[in-house]
Chain A
Amino acid sequence: MTRKTRRVFALCIAALLVMWIASGAVLAKKTTIVHWQHHSPARKEMVEAFAAEFMEKNPDVEIQIESIPETDYFQKLLPALAAGSGPDTFQIPAGQVASYAATGVLQPISPKVATTAQIEADFVPSAIKRLKVSGSYYGFPVDTQTIVLFYNPQLFNEAGLDPAKPPQTWAELIEYAKAIHQRDANGVTTRMGVATGGYGPVLASLMLQNGASLWNNETDLPDFSSPAAAQALKFAADLVTEYKVEDRQMGSRWNAFRQSKLGMVFAHPAMIGSFRATVPDLVFKIAQIPAPKPGGSRATLLTSWAYVVSKKAPSEAASKWIAYLTSEDAQKRWITKTGDLPTRKALLELPEYKNDPLLAPCMESMKNSVPAPWTTRRLDDELLRKAYELVILKGESPEKAMKWLSEEAIKAEKEQKALAKP
């Protein structure tokens, strides 16, 4: 071997060595997952804790969390997804998973993390119904909420009611609310009986309880035209206009409940976390929402979001991360800290929840839950409230308000469907 050959040989060895080190460095590089979600202090704290644990268990993965105020969330998310610079994992309303999947910005859950059969075996059907597109699941359920009745036992006692026996029917609810409601000498409400707030999911739950299906399977569109739906709207409006046990002049129903100036309020279980965080001394109880008649339906609308994986994300690591966020252990912690209901079947029957006076009615409400069948967000957020306001502010008949609601809901739903099928 000549001197020149030796030099070339040494150079080749050195080059190979450098390449090996470099490839080692690449291999050692962490997989980064950028996670976006809408902000609440409790939620942010929880997800950050989960991320720290996940990174400890998976040292090759780095989670970067961005918590965005809900008012700005879609304003930021949509352009980012369109530009291809969006997050790897994020949350969207469960009803919109199919629309997002149709646009190609999402990828299904990696089968290496959870197969379709596993997901269906583990989760409550109503919680995952909207997450399945063309046979694949595109997300895990989060922020799952039903409607329950929060009530103040102290106000029950003062009104001569038994806090151990919350109202079971609509008639009882009115009776109890009348007993709690108080006015001063000028007729100004000082203590309010009950509040629905005209909130969309509450109104939809009352309609479902009363036997309205809210969905026409033949047309595959919303349907609020049934007399049962109009009766439910009338019941909610009558609390304000006829029985005067809900007074909008009291301002925020949450503040009224916090100040023990409201006896009963229809709300999501998530308010457990909110009330505990803001007024730790407040004593409250929870019951399933009363049925229209004795022994009647306790159905409640189920609203939820989904953690999803973007198309560009590292499939397995991203799926693993959102599976971790919705694991049994995580869901146990979600419920105690934020009031997010568990969606894993195994948790619903746990004795610790069944025997917990606050959580037991929430778990029962999960069993009676019906997922919102529509895609349009306007129905929950806007249209149901407007139908309610048409009755209480403009004096329209519930039937006329529901006719208007049906037309608007169909228009909104058709528009969303057309978007998903250009």
Chain B
Amino acid sequence: MKKSGAEILMESLKAQGVDTIFGYPGGAALPIYDALYDTDINHYLTRHEQGAAHAADGYARASGKPGVCLATSGPGATNLVTGIANAYMDSIPMVAFTGQVATSLLGKDSFQEADITGITLPVTKHNYMVKDVNDLSKIVKEAFHIATTGRPGPVLVDIPKDVSSTVAAYEDPGPVLLPGYSPAFKPDPKQVSRAARAIVEAERPVIYAGGGVVSSGAHEELKELAETLLMPVATTLMGLGGFPGDHPLSVGMLGMHGSKYANYAISDCDLLVAVGVRFDDRVTGKLESFAPNAQVIHIDIDQAEIGKNVRVDFPVAGDVRLCLREIMKQLEPKVESAWNGTINKWKKEYPLGYVDNGRIKPQQVIQEICTATKGQARIATEVGQHQMWAAQYYTFNRPRSFISSGGLGTMGFGFPAAIGVQVACPEETVFDIAGDGSFQMNIQELATVVNYKLPVKVAILNNGYLGMVRQWQELFYNRRYSYTEMSNPEFSKVAEAYGAVGIKITTPSEVRPAIEHALSVDEPVVMDFITDPEENVLPMVPPGEAINKMLG
């Protein structure tokens, strides 16, 4: 049957099970939007293409399904770039479609032309420009295959306007044939045996678990491994929720703003079991002093991560879930050891904490949100101090409940991401924990949540500063607060102007009632918490230091 390129695209999307798209129309995308108009795909119109990319990313993080975003050529496409880079750094499955000028106009600096495949080359897992309509269905199928298999990541498909308009026969493209791409594999039995033996022989093992646990769905396997061997588990920011935060074996987050006991455990262990992680500098601090006495097992689906930053004694390459299952087969339960006693002693001695002083403490707000939602909400965050407090003070007990920009550290991510999360999980409570700086980077999406009646709850921890930068200026730049003080609008009134509920909270006693009220209404709510302006995120590993040398 003959169809236009745009109609073939719609068929191809349906074949992939796509029912939700976040996007923004424009000239070169007109044929695509025209075809979209006749389908039952739910399209969410964000108010900026960056919002569409982050919403698709948040949708993918919450659901595990690939997120799909759509924009026009030129500025539409370049506005997606931050969102694509963000998904790339955190290995999120996403397929971005962009309109492009007609093939006859390519390379001529035409109106709204941008070389988006060139621009996104270093921030996509792969990308395509479709130059022949007959390749379109095959390319769409490949794009979803690449985005979702192996180590997930974003794939961009650029479609010139004449390609989306040209009529061609639509055929099922058949199986994907990519000779250079062979993802998701089972671990080598020899690697598994060596790793298992190392675990059996270790006296002071620690699990260091990251986003790979969440993306491979290995949280049950991880729990079983930890419980069988009674190994303490430290998670990265991306790994939060991959292991229950309230589990007795959990030592919380490690790294720059990790708990002291997590960092002490890593520094003292004799075996580091690294699962679905990439030894990021925000985790390791000074590399030479990271787990200095330990042998290292590194389990990851991406071979290139193994040995990239640290020397690995026992590599296990493969899908984390399959690897953990195979390793478990060779392990026997262990009894509690002196090591468990040491960890528990540290947990008692060095708890997270803050000092009350009559003002609203940001940590208190997070704790109150955690209590009010019984730890069951999906929490998106922006980037900065509030993000670290959310990671420290909300207890994440299930995977895909903490939605945060880890690798790229994108301010403005949280609110549009929360839109994607709410779309993916319509029955659940979704928060965006924000700072006053970050929230203003995609504040226009208030129109989107009101438009689609998405009851996202925004909690702004408003300290009138770019708080994390100010903290570094305070600690390492002699309190010279260069351009980090912000004069802000009345966020509650901005929210009301958009048609959302706005609440301003200025005293500690109002915190809980405000949260309760926000939860009681089935509408988007913006809570503006005026917090202690110079509160710092502690503990903190100073940059370039060993992770057991913490401030606070």
| A, B co-complexed | no
Interface residues of B (CB under 8 A from A): none
Interface residues of A (CB under 8 A from B): none
